[in-house]
Amino acid sequence: MFYQAIVTGNSERWSAVFPDCPGCQTQADDDQELRAMAKEALEGWLETHLACGDVPPQPCMKADTHLLQVDIDPVLAMRIQVRLARHKAGWTQQDLADRAGVSLKQIVKLEHPDLNAKMATITKVAEAFGISLDVRFEAVA
């Protein structure tokens, strides 16, 4: 999962603004530092929304070579996708817990950025949504 940032800069200062995430932006001294700072800013912004119980925005997934693509941590991506799917279905956390056959506490752990959920819970939640779960290990380029 990735979000895109509009990058502007000159020889002295670079900035990245995420149009899908209002208020999420960062600055750096060079374009290489900007990549790391953009990832940190974006993940912090998304984690804050999850921790506050908000539904993060769906990213605009159209790849654009003129924008900076910022990939987010896979666990954070999973948490966002669960929150988005639950919101789209109009379910509360308790509704999802009931449909998945797990406790409310397990759903809270699944959606909160600072808590750990079990893989078995993730699998049951995917089944409750009627979607497939695809986990793969790939070499990093």
The pLDDT tens digits of the residues spanning 15-24 come to 999 999 999 9
Going along the chain from its start, the domains and CATH numbers come out as 2-71 (3.30.160.250), 74-129 (1.10.260.40)
pTM of the complete model beyond 0.85? no
**Confidence label for 61 from pLDDT (cuts 50, 70 and 90):** low
Q: What percent of the chain has pLDDT over 90?
A: 77
Asked if 34 and 26 touch (Cβ cutoff 8 Å), the reply is yes
> pLDDT tens digits for 62-111?
767 678 899 999 999 999 999 999 999 999 999 999 999 999 999 999 99
Buried b (16+ CB within 10 A) or exposed e, 59-94: beeeeeeebbebebeeebbbbbbbbebbeeeebebe
pLDDT of residue 65: 67
Radius of gyration, CA atoms only, the chain = 17
